[in-house]
Amino acid sequence: MSGITRAEVAHLAKLARLTIDDEHLDHYAEQLNVIIESVARVSEVAGDDVPATSHPLPLINVMRADVQRPGLTNAEALSNAPAQEQGRFRVPRILDEE
């Protein structure tokens, strides 16, 4: 596999609108090459006999049953509200919109 050149790093930097000094181009090219080689090594490990998975262990749904239970009445919900209006919580206006 061919490595990333400093010209390619400069081109990528231009596309990303980044300013990179000439002295750093070689350094970033080396780092990108290490990343690409690492990804290539991981790709080599995964064989055709290994199924693709998103999690190493199977996921189990641990949610409880959806059982309807009585909630607060409107009066109970508003009993400790600092301000209420027309059976609803009244909150300070944050936008100048109607």
Q: What is the pLDDT of residues 25-74, one digit of tens each?
A: 999 999 999 999 998 888 777 677 777 778 888 888 888 888 999 999 99
- Domain that residue 10 falls in: 6-45
Domain presence at residue 26 = yes
Domain presence at residue 25 = yes
The token pair that represents 94 in the structure block? 């944050």
The token pair that represents 26 in the structure block? 């070689």
pLDDT of residue 3: 84
Residue 87: pLDDT band (50, 70, 90) is very high
**Total number of domains in the chain:** 1
Domain presence at residue 30 = yes
CA distances from 92 to 82, 83, 96 (A): 11, 10, 11
41 three-class SS: helix
Q: Which of 34, 19, 2 is nearest to 10 (CA)?
A: 19
